[in-house]
Chains A and B, each alone.
Chain A
Amino acid sequence: MKKTRVAILGSGNIGTDLLIKILRSQYLECSLFIGRHLNSPGMNKAGSLGVRISDLSIEAIEREPDCCQVVFDATSALDHRKHWPVLKKLNKRVIDLTPSGIGEMCVPALNIEHCLDIENVNMITCGGQASIPLASVIGNTQDVEYIEVVSTIASRSAGPATRINLDEYVESTEKGIRKFSGCSNVKAILTLSPAQPPIDMQTTVFAKVTRPDMQALKEEIPKMAGRVQHYVPGYSIIVPPMVESDRLVTMVRVRGLGDYLPKYAGNMDIINCAAIAMAEEYAKAGEGERGGDGR
């Protein structure tokens, strides 16, 4: 089967981890790995894996528009705002891993099919990918007045772009929770933990609910977790839904696959796994069309 060709923009932790995952995909191949400096650790890693690299940023794709069908943007929210008009003109499918807020928000467990027809999908945030599936169950099964999601990630799993983008992280996560839970009163919190050895990513969803329907949660939360586990193997419920001090609470841990960063970096893993699930869905859906053009 012919694989769909993708390019990765951004050679930081996210981009490099994405690359390693794509090398394992049955549906995707990375035809170009793009950064800004040939000597960055990510570029060196890509080079050592035999992947074509370029230090020309977005220009690499402008110069060679046929290099790929799908572009993953793993740069920053600010950079994505510049990249998007260029990629749109070139008719690329774009999967945005920055909290730019431009594309359609995508959580594969919830709206992957809807996103198939959309040219720019946004993967929200790591905390969003972990919490929104659960928040949507709560929104759909409960009479909910407020939802709050709290993620803790290891300091060493957060690169410079994540750190400088904390406000965008909060805003983008909150927007995602609102959209998928239907609850307008929401809050997102992110804590970076200096603990050594580093801790696994943990995400807690709290909610204020009138007369919680625990039975529905006990059925639906594990089902939803199962759907996420299809594309994020390290996603697991560690505290099942319960009520503590009038707060509905449930907690997940996300362990990474240990591809580019160690396993504690579940935050990076979950957003990358989600992005790849989306891209593979394109690839599968696009099979028929591309069959005819001789490639």
Chain B
Amino acid sequence: MKRILIHDVTLRDGNHAISHKMTAVQIAAYAAAADAAGVPVVEVGHGNGLGASSLQVGESAISDELMLKTARMNLPDSKLAIHVIPGFATINKDLKLAIDNGVDVVRVASHCTEADITQRHINYVRDRGKEAYGVLMMSHMASKETLVEESQKMESYGAEGVIIFDSAGTYLPGQVSERVRELVASLNIPVGFHAHNNLGLGIANSMAAAEAGASIIDGSARGFGAGSGNAQIEVLIAVLEKMDYQTGVDFYRMLDAADLAERDLLKEIPRIKSLSIVSGLSGVFSGFIKPVERISREFNVDARDVLFELGRRQVVAGQEDIIIDVVSKLCATKDER
């Protein structure tokens, strides 16, 4: 039976869904439940990872340090993971602090063509004796050949696996299989996949990844994550087991953890709203949906137009400021009419 390593991103990607306002009490409760279910890796943090609390993306309710300490205390068995984007987080200010606070796994992320900015962070994590993974965000923007090249760079820096993110929830299953197969054939380290459910394909795409040879799959409780959420982790566990993959996660306890998340963490259960579909179609990062909705309402422009224009400009996560630019331009054209 083939093993799949589940990375649970509820406490990180879920933060996007509640504008990064997760509290220590929520983190403690869910971390303990995920640990009890035997989830091997639990990621925690601001939606854009360590050091990303900002006016640009949204301010966290609590400090990174408190998030990490709280999660660590409630994860006796599961590994504690963080997401790190160089350009947001520095080694001296952020990464050192995280590892000092007991982080086991660091997922160092860049946009799909920028792997070389992860080199020093990956090196640092390995030097400190911790596990390092490379993450390629917005992976739909690059060809499979480019993804292979960038992943190979990460492998050469010491990454112990590379996870490709469908940040905009825009892939079709065939596109996932094609990319994952190519990566599995070209790398000597495990390949992972991180879904967003904007087009209703979160689970289907994760299955396609597993069938193409991915051995790490990301999921979150009830799909709690940016936009219409991620692959729903309890469904993922069920379907993977049905397909004869082994995850090592206790199914009943995973369901319990998901119930707890629904009760204590979620403001609303992620569903595919109109703007999520537009985000998926236009290839815009799911985390943009909330600020686009807010700013469009403030300035009385059609949020769908804003998302399509952002898609045309090929924005990536971290460019949230461009929403204001696009909205004010749309306002100006509206006034002219």
Stretch at the interface among A54-62, A102-110, A114-122, A191-199: A191-199
B116 with A189: CB separation less than 8 A: no
Q: Provide the residues of chain A in CB contact with B318, threshold 8 Å.
A: 150, 152, 189, 191
Q: Is A39 an interface residue (CB 8 A)?
A: no
A247 with B55: CB separation less than 8 A: yes
Known A-B contacts A190-B87, A195-B314, A251-B324; the reply to A164 vs B92 at CB < 8 A is: no
Known A-B contacts A199-B313, A244-B324; the reply to A189 vs B54 at CB < 8 A is: yes
Known A-B contacts A167-B90, A245-B294, A249-B321; the reply to A189 vs B56 at CB < 8 A is: yes
- Chain A nearest Cβ from B279, distance in angstroms: 17
Q: Is A202 an interface residue (CB 8 A)?
A: yes
Q: Is B127 an interface residue (CB 8 A)?
A: no
The docked-state distance in angstroms from the alpha carbon of A247 to that of B120 is 33
B120 with A249: CB separation less than 8 A: no
Q: Provide the residues of chain B in CB contact with A150, threshold 8 Å.
A: 54, 56, 318, 321
Which residue of A has the minimal Cβ distance to B298?
A244
- Chain A nearest Cβ from B25, distance in angstroms: 25
B113 with A239: CB separation less than 8 A: no
Is chain A's interface secondary structure helix, strand, loop, or mixed overall? strand
| Chain A interfacial residues counted at CB < 8 A | 36
Q: Provide the residues of chain A in CB contact with B238, threshold 8 Å.
A: none
Q: Is B210 an interface residue (CB 8 A)?
A: no
| Chain B interfacial residues counted at CB < 8 A | 37
- Chain A nearest Cβ from B189, distance in angstroms: 22
Among A150-171, those with CB < 8 Å from B are: 150, 152, 155, 160, 163-164, 166-167, 169-171
Q: Could you say which of A160, A169, A195, A251 has the most chain B C-beta atoms within 10 Å of its C-beta? A: A195
Question: Of the candidates A167, A202, A242, which one forms a contact with B86 in the assembled complex, judged by CB atoms under 8 Å apart?
Answer: A167
Q: Is B79 an interface residue (CB 8 A)?
A: no
Please report the number of residue pairs spanning A and B whose Cβ atoms sit closer than 8 angstroms. Answer: 108
Which residue of A has the minimal Cβ distance to B314?
A195
Cβ proximity bits B306-318 to A, threshold 8 Å, 1 near / 0 not: 0000000111111
Which residue of B has the minimal Cβ distance to A166?
B86
Q: Provide the residues of chain A in CB contact with B172, threshold 8 Å.
A: none
Q: Is B23 an interface residue (CB 8 A)?
A: no
A194 with B314: CB separation less than 8 A: yes
Q: Provide the residues of chain B in CB contact with A152, threshold 8 Å.
A: 318-319, 321-322
Q: Is B305 an interface residue (CB 8 A)?
A: no
Q: Provide the residues of chain B in CB contact with A204, threshold 8 Å.
A: 56, 321, 324
Q: Could you say which of A191, A199, A251 has the most chain B C-beta atoms within 10 Å of its C-beta? A: A191
A164 with B119: CB separation less than 8 A: yes
Which residue of B has the minimal Cβ distance to A187?
B54
A160 with B294: CB separation less than 8 A: no
- Chain B nearest Cβ from A285, distance in angstroms: 37
B324 with A239: CB separation less than 8 A: yes
Q: Is B100 an interface residue (CB 8 A)?
A: no
Known A-B contacts A239-B328, A251-B325; the reply to A155 vs B55 at CB < 8 A is: no
Known A-B contacts A150-B56, A164-B116, A208-B55; the reply to A191 vs B319 at CB < 8 A is: yes
Q: Is A148 an interface residue (CB 8 A)?
A: yes
Cβ proximity bits A247-263 to B, threshold 8 Å, 1 near / 0 not: 10101000000000000
Question: Of the candidates B55, B92, B316, which one forms a contact with A191 in the assembled complex, judged by CB atoms under 8 Å apart?
Answer: B316
Question: Of the candidates B54, B92, B321, which one forms a contact with A202 in the assembled complex, judged by CB atoms under 8 Å apart?
Answer: B321
The docked-state distance in angstroms from the alpha carbon of A294 to that of B321 is 55
Which residue of B has the minimal Cβ distance to A162?
B117
Q: Is B61 an interface residue (CB 8 A)?
A: no
A166 with B117: CB separation less than 8 A: yes
Q: Provide the residues of chain A in CB contact with B184, threshold 8 Å.
A: none
Q: Provide the residues of chain B in CB contact with A167, threshold 8 Å.
A: 86, 90-92, 120
A189 with B87: CB separation less than 8 A: yes
The docked-state distance in angstroms from the alpha carbon of A164 to that of B298 is 39
- Chain B nearest Cβ from A185, distance in angstroms: 12
A192 with B294: CB separation less than 8 A: no
The docked-state distance in angstroms from the alpha carbon of A238 to that of B329 is 9
Which residue of A has the minimal Cβ distance to B92?
A167
Q: Provide the residues of chain B in CB contact with A190, threshold 8 Å.
A: 87
- Chain B nearest Cβ from A18, distance in angstroms: 23
- Chain A nearest Cβ from B99, distance in angstroms: 15
Q: Provide the residues of chain B in CB contact with A199, threshold 8 Å.
A: 313-314
Q: Could you say which of B87, B90, B120, B318 has the most chain A C-beta atoms within 10 Å of its C-beta? A: B87
A-B interface, 5 closest residue pairs, ranked by CB to CB distance from nearest: A195-B314, A191-B318, A204-B321, A206-B55, A194-B113
Could you name 27 residue pairs across A and B whose Cβ atoms are closer than 8 Å?
A: A148-B55, A150-B56, A150-B318, A152-B321, A152-B322, A155-B113, A164-B116, A164-B120, A166-B86, A166-B90, A167-B90, A169-B87, A189-B87, A191-B316, A191-B317, A192-B87, A192-B110, A192-B111, A192-B114, A193-B315, A194-B138, A194-B316, A195-B313, A204-B321, A206-B55, A249-B55, A251-B324
Binding site for A on B (CB under 8 A): 54-56, 86-88, 90-93, 110-114, 116-117, 119-120, 138, 141-142, 294-295, 298, 313-319, 321-322, 324-325, 328
- Can you name 9 extra interface pairs (CB under 8 A) apart from A152-B318, A164-B119, A193-B315? A155-B111, A166-B90, A166-B117, A169-B87, A187-B54, A195-B315, A202-B322, A206-B56, A244-B298
